[in-house]
A = this chain, B = another copy of it.
Amino acid sequence: MVMQTAVLHGIRDVRLESRAIPVPAAHEVLVKIARVGVCGSDVHYYTDMHIGQYVVNAPMILGHESAGVVAAVGSSVKHLQVGDRVSLEPGVCCRTCYHCKRGRYNLCPNIVFMATPPVDGAFAEYVAWAEDFVFKIPDHVSLEAAALLEPLSVAVWAVQRSGIGMGASIAIFGGGAIGCTVVQAAKAAGATTIIVVDLEPFRLEFAKEFGATHTINAREGNVLEQIRAITTPLNGLTGSSAGVDAAFETAGALITCRQTIEAVHSGGVAVLVGLPPDPMVSLDIVAAASREVDIRGQFRYANCYPAALALLSSGKVNLDKMITKRYALSEAGAALEFADTQKKQSLKVMIEV
């Protein structure tokens, strides 16, 4: 029994290939994939064959934002059955190390994560996956939105790491797919002032639709002054010094990394969701430290799919609206090409399998 897959062989070289349909182990289910989102990391592997220390040394199937229908179940599977519509959390951890035991399994050094070399991803007709990382979705949730629980989980983790809650003021640097899911997750968590900063009007417009209360085009005026002007009247006498309670870097640039830290008031939190392209970053760490602005990075997420699914099912977030364009699995190369070259006009590209 074979299935079709889209395999990355080299820079901008994705080929359709037949592979054997996997057989689910005892605790696994076999999922017939229906939709897979194209993530920035997929594009990065497509254009560079590596991301930092992760190098694609052998042909690899891309894609890790996936949803589909259960086609078969392993012998010990208890909670899922054939026909269930499901979303797949793409990382399966070792369950025994220091981090897994403490519930922070995203830091597991032994994690098997889709489309991170050398593990194959979901640009394929079938995937066999551990039952407890497969989530049944309600009937009213689309498979397309279900695939996007993955980037929403990134946003949920970012918001959880920030510690914000009811009445919070936040700034988000970057209004792309991650920025827009952070807008929605933060709004769902109680943020009432949500400032999004980007260079592209297209993205700022989307950010507003998703719940941004203020948008700033970074080309126009001083970004930090504008953030402080927005937050000062909010704070007043019993307020803090100007600045937001938390800021999120999702743009992956040096300048926004710095601004994320500066936009936060004393005692606030800067969350680095995106990462600057160069490892060595020159920051005014003295100013950050002496204002007790905590700097928290992020590596994927842990235990966020249930919350992300609850937000989606309840209508608190809208993921369908994020999809800019759709491609068939056989057009995977074109999908990646579009996602790479049309960044300014595109939030999320979706593969229909």
Contact = CB atoms under 8 A, between A and B. Distances in A.
Interface of A: 27, 52, 78-80, 95-107, 109, 131-132, 135-136, 156, 159-160, 165-169, 185, 188-190, 192-193, 213, 234-241, 257, 266-267, 272, 275-276, 278-299, 302-303, 305-311, 313-314, 316
A238 B281 contact: no
Contacts of A307: 165-167, 190
B276 A286 contact: yes
A310 B166 contact: yes
Contacts of A109: 241, 266
A266 B236 CA distance: 30
A282 B284 contact: no
> Which of A98, A135, A168, A308 gathers the greatest number of chain B CB atoms within 10 Å?
A98
Given A104-B103, A309-B167, A279 B286 contact: yes
B107 A306 contact: no
B279 A234 contact: no
A213 B99 CA distance: 25
Nearest to A106: B292
Given A107-B266, A238-B96, A303 B190 contact: no
Contacts of A237: 78-80, 96-97, 131-132
A80 B276 CA distance: 41
B290 A286 contact: no
B279 A280 contact: no
Given A101-B105, A188-B190, A267-B99, A238 B306 contact: yes
Can you tell how many copies of this chain the complex includes? 4
Contacts of A193: 310, 314
A300 to B, nearest CB: 9
A129 B95 CA distance: 16
B98 A308 contact: no
A272 B297 contact: no
A326 to B, nearest CB: 28
A280 B291 contact: no
A97 B314 CA distance: 23
Contact of A102 (B96, B160, B241, B303): B303
A97 B166 contact: no
A156 B167 CA distance: 10
Contacts of A282: 280-283
Given A104-B267, A167-B309, A189-B166, A290 B285 contact: no
Contacts of A166: 156, 159-160, 185, 188-189, 307, 310-311
Nearest to A267: B107
Nearest to A165: B189
B167 A310 contact: yes
A298 B280 CA distance: 23
25 contacts: A96-B132, A98-B238, A101-B105, A101-B303, A107-B266, A109-B241, A109-B266, A135-B236, A159-B166, A160-B166, A166-B307, A166-B310, A189-B189, A192-B311, A238-B305, A257-B285, A275-B290, A281-B283, A281-B286, A285-B295, A291-B297, A291-B299, A292-B297, A292-B298, A294-B297
B292 A296 contact: yes
A270 to B, nearest CB: 9
Nearest to A285: B281
Contacts of A313: 192
A148 B78 CA distance: 37
